[in-house]
C-alpha cells in the first residue's frame, strides 16, 4: 500500500494493563499494511513497552513515537483527597516525545506519577509538567481530558483559559486540541465546540482514534478484557465500555470520519514529522566502585585478583603434590593473564569489583552464598575473587561463554544468597551506591492459556465448574497455548466446534491470550546505576502503600539501555544448609566446613542411587528421582551430566536413556571422530554440553588450520 499521511498518535497497547488489547508486533504490522510511516504508543501512565516498541518499529521501517497518556491532578499531585460529587481526581493528557530530551522528560514525569502522585492513578501536575515540558508535544486527550470535561460541563470560557494555559506550559506549537469521533453522543456535542475553541485560541486541532484494539472484530474480546479489569460481567449494565469504533483504523477510514476537518488529519502527519527520537546505544552505565586513594579501578582490580590467585595457588600446589590436580600450574597462570587482559580491554574491571565487594560483604557477615551458576563459572578471575567457588580449569569451562570481545554485552553473574538474608545484601548495595541508584526490576505476568480461559469464563458469567473443566483440558506445560491444545486434545476441539458457549469462550480467550495482566517485582533482578536510575529508565511503584520501587523496564530492556542488571537469587536450599550446619554444631558440637568436603564419598552416592534426595537442589523432583535410580551415579561428573540432561529436549529425544545405557555398558561407546574422544569420553560419547560442541568445533578448526600450513 502507498504511504498515507495520517498517523495514529493515540494508541493503547497491552501495557495499558487490562485496557489495551493491542500487542506491539501486530499493531506495527497493521500500521505497515496501511502504509503509515510512523505510529505512536501512549499507554496509560507508563512507558513499560517503549523500548520493545522502538526496536520493533525500526526493524519494520516505521518511525516510533514514544508517548504516554498521563493523568494530571486537578491540583497538587501529592494531594490525595476525594473530589466533591464523585469526580475523578485526574484528567487525561497525551504526551509525545519529540526527541531525546522529551523522552527523558517523559521518564521523569512517569516516575514522579508513580512515586509522588499516585492516587487511584499515577498523577502528575501542571507545575511538574512545566518543569519537564522540553522536547514534548501535548494533546488534550479524550473525553477524560480537562478541556473536554469543561466543554461537556458548559464551561467554555474556562476551557479557553485552560487551553491557553497548556499552550503556555508546553511552548508555542507544542499543544494540540485532540478531536475524536467514535460515534459517542458526548463527542458529537463537544466536537463543534473544540473547533470553535481552536479558532478562538489559535491552538491547532489533531484527529486521533484512541485505539484500544486492532480491528472492529476484536471489540467483543476487548469488552471481556474490561470486565476482567473491573470485576464485572458482560451482562452488567453499569460496566465500563468502549464503542466498536476504538480500533486501529486505516488512514482512509480516518479521512472519511473527519472529511469535514482535513486539517486535523494533516496535523497528525505534521506532529509525526517533528518526532525524531534516537536513543543512546552501545554505552554501558556501570556503577562507580570506590577504590583506595592512590590507586585506579584497573590497578586495584589487578591487585585484588592477584591476591586471590595466590590464595588459590596454595591449594592448587598442595593438590599437585598429591597428584590430584589434572592440569599443570602454568596453565592457571596463563589463563589468569588472558582473562585479566580481556576484562581490562572491555572496561569491566569496575564491574568485577562491585560483585566481589558485595559477595565479600555477605561472606564477612555469615550470609550463605552459592558456589556460582551459569557462564560466570567459566571465569578464573571470578574464582580467584571468590565470586564463584568452581575451578573452571578443573571442569574444562571456557571463559568466552561468559565474556567475549566478539559479542559486546554486559557480563551476567547470577548470585545465590540465603533466602532469609538476601534483603541484607540488597540493603548493603543500596546504602553503598545510593537509594536513587539502586532498584529491583519489574516483571510482567501474562494471560496464559488456562488462566485466560478462567478469566474469560468469569467475565461471561459461565458456571465456574464448567469453565474449570475446560481450562484443565489445556496441557499443564510451560509452552501450552490454546491453539496447541486445540490441535492436540480432540475432546477440547470437539467441544469448541459443537457447543456454542464453549466455542465463544475459546475464541475470546484466544484473542486475549498472551496479553499483559499485571506488573510485579522480578524475583531476583537488581539494577545498580552510576547516577539516579531515573536518568536512564522510568521507575514504578504499585501505589503509595507499596514497599518496593522497581524499574519501569523489564530485565531485557534494562540490559539493552546499558544498565547493570544483577540477579540476587534468594535460594531456600542455602538457608536449609545453613540451618542444618548450625543445628549440627548446637546439638553435636561438630563444626562442618563445606569447602573441605570431598566429592568422592561413596555413602553420599549411595543416597543418590536410592533417590533419597528430597531437599537436594535440582535433584528432588519425581522425574529426576526415577532417573537417579536407573543411573546409580558414583561420581560427580554423572550428577553434572544429569543436571544438564534433565531438560525437555533431551528427555523427549531419548538422550537420557542413551546416556544411562552407555554408562552401564549396554551400548558400545563409539566416538563420532577421534578428535572428539578426549572431549566426549567423560559423557560416554554423548554430546551433553554446549561447551563440548564448541570444543569439538575448535578442535576441527585447529586441525584444518594445521593442514593448510
Cβ–Cβ < 8 Å for 371, 389: yes
Instruction: Assign domain 24-211+248-274 to its CATH architecture.
Output: Alpha-Beta Barrel (3.20)
* pLDDT tens figures, 126-147: 999 999 999 999 999 999 999 9
* pLDDT tens figures, 544-585: 777 789 999 999 999 999 999 999 999 999 999 999 999 999
What is residue 393's DSSP assignment?
Answer: T
Q: What's the pLDDT score for residue 427?
A: 96
Rounded Cα distance, 677 and 463, in Å: 62
Grid cell 475464541 in the structure block, residue:
507
Long-range Cβ contact pairs of 427-430 (< 8 A, separation 24 or more): 428/358, 428/361, 429/358, 429/526, 429/528
How are strands ordered across the β-sheet holding 438-446?
414-418, 564-571, 516-528, 438-446, 550-551, 539-540
* Among 199, 196, 206, 207, CA closest to 176: 206
**Backbone φ, ψ for residue 36 (5° rounding):** -85, 130
* Among 478, 563, 411, 37, CA closest to 251: 37
Domain-wise residue ranges, the chain? 24-211+248-274, 216-243+451-512, 296-412, 413-447+514-571, 600-707
**333, three cell numbers:** 597462570
Q: Collapse the DSSP code of 99 into the 3-class scheme (helix H, G, I; strand E, B; otherwise coil) and give the result.
A: coil
Q: What's the pLDDT score for residue 709?
A: 36
Cβ–Cβ < 8 Å for 417, 425: yes
Cβ–Cβ < 8 Å for 642, 631: yes
Rounded Cα distance, 174 and 164, in Å: 12
In the predicted model, residues of the chain with pLDDT beneath 50 are 1, 699-709
Q: What's the pLDDT score for residue 694?
A: 56
In 367-474 the beta strands, taken as DSSP E runs, fall at 414-418, 438-446
Q: pTM of whole model > 0.75?
A: yes
Cβ–Cβ < 8 Å for 521, 443: yes
Rounded Cα distance, 248 and 21, in Å: 11
Q: What's the pLDDT score for residue 708?
A: 41
* pLDDT tens figures, 612-668: 999 898 999 999 999 999 999 999 989 988 998 898 888 888 889 988 998 998 888
Q: What's the pLDDT score for residue 233?
A: 97
DSSP 651-686: HHHTHHHHHHHHHTTSS----SSGGGHHHHGGGTT-
Rounded Cα distance, 122 and 101, in Å: 21
DSSP 340-382: HHHHHHHT-HHHHHHHHHHHHHHHHTT--B----GGGGG-HHH
Is domain 216-243+451-512 annotated with CATH 1.10.10.1600? yes
* pLDDT tens figures, 385-434: 999 999 999 988 889 888 888 776 778 889 999 999 999 999 999 999 99
Q: What's the pLDDT score for residue 700?
A: 46
**296, three cell numbers:** 585506579
Cβ–Cβ < 8 Å for 624, 617: no
DSSP 571-637: EHHHHHHHHHHHHHHHHH-----GGG--S--HHHHHHHHTT--TTSTTS-SHHHHHHHHHH---SHH
Amino acid at each position: 500500500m502507498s504511504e498515507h499521511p495520517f498517523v495514529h498518535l493515540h494508541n493503547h497497547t497491552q501495557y495499558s494493563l487490562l485496557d489495551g488489547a493491542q500487542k506491539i508486533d501486530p499493531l506495527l504490522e497493521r500500521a505497515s499494511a496501511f502504509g503509515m510511516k510512523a505510529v505512536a504508543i501512549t499507554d496509560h501512565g507508563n512507558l513499560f513497552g517503549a523500548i520493545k516498541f522502538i526496536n520493533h518499529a525500526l526493524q519494520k521501517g516505521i518511525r516510533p513515537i514514544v508517548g504516554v497518556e498521563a493523568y494530571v491532578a486537578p491540583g497538587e499531585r501529592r494531594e490525595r483527597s476525594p473530589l466533591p460529587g464523585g469526580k475523578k481526581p485526574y484528567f487525561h493528557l497525551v504526551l509525545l516525545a519529540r526527541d531525546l530530551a522529551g523522552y527523558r522528560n517523559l521518564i521523569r514525569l512517569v516516575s514522579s506519577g508513580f512515586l509522588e502522585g499516585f492516587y487511584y492513578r499515577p498523577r502528575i501536575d501542571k507545575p511538574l509538567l512545566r518543569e519537564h515540558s522540553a522536547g514534548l508535544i501535548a494533546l488534550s486527550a479524550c473525553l477524560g481530558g480537562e478541556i473536554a470535561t469543561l466543554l461537556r460541563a458548559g464551561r467554555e470560557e474556562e476551557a479557553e483559559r485552560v487551553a491557553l494555559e497548556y499552550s503556555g506550559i508546553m511552548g508555542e506549537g507544542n499543544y494540540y486540541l485532540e478531536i475524536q469521533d467514535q460515534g459517542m453522543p458526548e463527542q458529537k456535542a463537544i466536537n463543534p465546540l473544540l473547533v470553535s475553541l481552536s479558532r478562538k485560541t489559535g491552538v491547532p486541532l489533531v484527529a486521533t482514534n484512541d485505539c484500544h484494539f486492532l480491528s472492529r472484530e476484536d471489540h467483543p474480546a476487548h469488552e471481556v478484557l474490561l470486565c476482567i479489569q473491573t470485576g464485572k460481567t458482560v451482562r452488567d449494565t453499569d460496566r465500563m465500555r468502549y464503542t466498536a469504533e476504538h480500533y486501529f483504523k486505516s488512514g482512509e477510514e480516518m479521512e472519511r470520519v473527519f472529511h469535514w476537518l482535513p486539517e486535523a488529519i494533516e496535523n497528525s502527519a505534521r506532529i509525526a514529522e517533528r518526532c525524531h527520537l534516537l536513543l543512546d546505544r552501545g554505552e554501558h552505565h556501570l556503577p562507580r566502585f570506590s577504590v583506595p586513594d592512590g590507586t585506579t579501578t584497573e590497578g586495584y582490580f589487578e591487585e585484588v585478583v592477584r591476591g586471590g590467585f595466590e590464595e588459590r595457588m596454595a591449594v592448587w600446589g598442595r593438590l599437585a603434590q598429591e597428584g590430584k590436580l589434572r592440569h599443570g600450574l602454568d596453565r592457571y597462570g596463563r589463563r589468569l593473564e588472558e582473562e585479566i587482559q580481556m576484562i581490562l580491554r572491555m572496561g569491566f574491571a569496575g564491574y568485577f569489583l562491585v560483585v566481589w565487594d558485595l559477595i565479600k560483604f555477605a561472606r564477612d557477615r555469615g550470609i550463605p552464598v552459592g558456589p556460582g551458576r551459569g557462564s560466570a563459572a567459566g571465569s578464573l578471575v571470578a574464582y580467584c575473587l571468590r565470586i564463584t567457588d568452581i575451578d573452571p580449569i578443573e571442569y574444562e569451562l571456557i571463559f568466552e561463554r561468559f565474556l567475549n570481545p566478539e559479542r559486546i554485552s554486559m557480563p551476567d553473574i547470577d548470585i545465590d544468597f540465603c533466602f532469609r538474608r538476601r534483603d541484607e545484601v540488597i540493603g548493603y548495595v543500596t546504602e553503598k551506591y545510593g537509594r536513587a541508584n539502586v532498584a529491583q526490576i519489574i516483571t510482567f505476568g501474562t494471560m496464559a492459556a488456562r488462566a485466560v480461559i478462567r478469566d474469560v469464563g468469569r467475565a461471561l458469567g459461565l458456571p465456574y465448574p464448567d469453565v474449570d473443566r475446560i481450562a484443565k483440558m489445556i496441557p499443564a506445560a510451560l509452552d501450552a497455548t490454546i491453539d496447541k491444545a486445540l490441535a492436540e486434545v480432540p475432546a477440547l476441539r470437539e467441544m469448541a466446534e459443537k457447543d456454542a458457549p464453549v466455542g465463544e469462550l475459546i475464541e475470546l480467550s484466544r484473542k486475549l491470550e498472551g496479553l499483559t495482566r499485571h506488573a510485579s517485582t522480578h524475583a531476583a533482578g537488581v539494577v545498580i546505576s552510576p547516577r539516579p536510575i531515573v536518568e536512564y529508565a522510568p521507575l514504578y511503584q504499585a501505589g503509595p502503600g507499596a514497599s518496593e520501587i522497581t524499574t519501569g523496564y523489564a530485565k531485557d530492556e534494562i540490559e539493552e539501555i546499558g544498565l547493570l542488571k544483577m540477579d540476587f537469587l534468594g535460594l531456600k536450599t542455602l538457608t536449609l544448609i545453613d540451618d542444618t550446619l548450625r543445628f549440627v554444631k548446637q546439638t553435636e558440637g561438630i563444626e562442618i566446613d563445606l569447602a573441605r568436603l570431598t566429592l568422592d564419598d561413596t555413602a553420599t552416592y549411595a543416597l543418590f542411587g536410592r533417590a533419597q534426595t528430597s531437599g537436594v537442589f535440582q535433584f528432588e523432583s519425581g522425574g529426576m528421582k526415577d532417573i537417579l535410580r536407573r543411573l546409580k551415579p558414583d561420581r560427580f561428573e554423572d550428577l553434572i551430566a544429569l543436571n544438564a540432561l534433565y531438560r525437555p529436549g533431551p528427555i523427549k529425544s531419548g538422550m537420557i536413556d542413551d546416556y544411562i545405557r552407555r554408562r552401564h555398558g549396554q551400548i558400545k561407546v563409539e566416538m563420532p571422530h577421534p578428535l572428539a574422544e578426549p572431549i566426549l569420553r567423560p559423557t560416554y560419547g554423548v554430546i551433553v554440553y554446549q561447551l563440548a560442541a564448541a570444543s569439538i568445533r575448535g578442535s576441527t578448526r585447529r586441525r584444518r588450520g594445521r593442514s593448510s600450513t
